[in-house]
């Protein structure tokens, strides 16, 4: 997938729920608030899922170089 397609998908999903898989087998879900050209993401109402545990994170900034997968959620 090219950068242009990724940026377009992110633009279409601002204000919507997304799932992010990070290095270290962490999964975070939240509402995409903002992003930049480096794929840094700001999520609102974020929750981290690791193993069977859930941790409420609130509003967070994810660095783009830690992101493996970005998936829009319904």
Chain segment 22-59, per-residue pLDDT in tens: 998 899 999 999 999 889 999 999 999 988 899 999 99
In sequence order, what are the beta bridge partners of 18? 30, 72
d(CA 50, CA 31): 18
Give me the pLDDT at residue 57, please. Answer: 97
Give me the pLDDT at residue 2, please. Answer: 56
DSSP 13: T
**pLDDT classification of 14: cutoffs 50, 70, 90:** very high
**pLDDT classification of 9: cutoffs 50, 70, 90:** confident
Does the pLDDT at position 3 exceed 80? no
Contact 57, 42 (CB under 8 A): no
Specify the fold of 3-72. SH3 type barrels. (2.30.30)
């Amino acid at each position: 997938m090219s950068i242009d397609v990724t940026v377009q998908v992110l633009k279409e999903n601002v204000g919507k729920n997304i799932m992010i898989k990070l290095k270290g087998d962490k999964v975070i879900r939240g509402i995409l608030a903002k992003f930049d050209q480096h794929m840094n993401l700001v999520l609102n109402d974020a929750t981290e899922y690791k193993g069977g545990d859930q941790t409420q994170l609130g509003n967070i900034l994810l660095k783009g170089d830690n992101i493996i997968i970005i998936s829009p959620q319904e």
